[in-house]
Amino acid sequence: MASITISSANVAGWQGNSTGVQLRIYTNSSFTASSGNLYPQTMGNPASLGSFYQVYSCSVSGSTLTLPPVHLDSTTDSIDNPSATFSAVLWDSVSGKPIQVFGTESTFALAPSPTTTSWGNVFAADLDDID
């Protein structure tokens, strides 16, 4: 069982909303984590975001957006779909609309190790997997 913690992060130079910002994590295909947890696909229609899987409230101070720690199961050791990925979207909870995709990649996978990581490492690991 690999529960991964992605540490809190600060995004300097934030010029968006000062309240109501959320980080939403979506699953891009159904999978069963090695923990036995089931993750249904939430982005079945590329034209819409579908129902969300997890939501994390972010805070804004001045021009810095702070994302809280995120806890997810690893995907690459899934017992039925090791190619499963997540997507992260910054969301405006006031208007109910997406602000933007979060990160340098539109999707990301999580390996079972290390169990604590950063967003930078998550996206760097996915770039390493590109042939």
For 14-71, how does the pLDDT look when each residue is reduced to its tens digit (9 = 90+)? Answer: 999 999 999 999 998 889 999 999 888 885 544 455 565 899 999 999 999 999 999 9
What is the spatial distance between Cα 93 and Cα 19, in angstroms, rounded to a whole number? Answer: 9
Residue 106 is encoded by which pair of tokens? 């539109």
Q: Count of domains in the chain?
A: 1
In a domain, 91, yes or no: yes
Q: Give the model confidence (pLDDT) of 63-111 as tens digits.
A: 999 999 999 999 999 999 999 999 999 999 999 899 999 988 889 999 9
CB contact at 8 A, 56 and 68: yes
Residue found by looking up tokens 């996978």 in the block: 109
What range does the domain containing 69 cover?
Answer: 3-124
Task: Give the total residue count for the chain.
Answer: 131
In a domain, 130, yes or no: no
- Name 73's bridge partners: 3
In a domain, 66, yes or no: yes
